[in-house]
Amino acid sequence: MRIALASDHAGYAEKERLKTVLSDLGVEFDDLGTRSEESVDYPDFARAVAEQVADGRVEQGLLVCGSGTGMAITANKVPGVRAAVAWSEETARLARQHNDANVLAIGARTTPPTDIPKIVRTWFSTEFEGGRHAARVNKISDVEKHARS
Alpha-helix runs per DSSP H in 26-149: 42-54, 69-75, 89-99, 116-125, 132-148
What pLDDT is recorded for position 149? 73
What pLDDT is recorded for position 144? 81
Rounded average pLDDT per 10-residue block, the chain, 149 residues: 98 98 98 98 98 98 98 97 98 98 98 98 96 90 80
Active site residues: 65, 98
The answer to whether 96 and 128 are in contact (CB under 8 A) is yes
Query: 2-148: what fold?
Result: Ribose 5-phosphate Isomerase B; Chain: A, (3.40.1400)
Give the list of residues 6+ apart from residue 108 with CB closer than 8 angstroms, or none: 7, 10, 11, 13, 14, 64, 65, 66, 116
What pLDDT is recorded for position 148? 74
User: pTM score, two decimals?
Assistant: 0.96
What residue ranges do the domains of the chain occupy?
Answer: 2-148
Own/partner contacts of 30-38, CB < 8 Å, gap of 24 or more, are: 30/2, 30/3, 30/4, 30/5, 30/58, 31/5, 31/6, 32/4, 32/5, 32/6, 33/6, 33/7, 34/6, 34/7, 34/8, 34/9, 36/9, 36/12, 37/9, 37/12, 37/13, 38/9
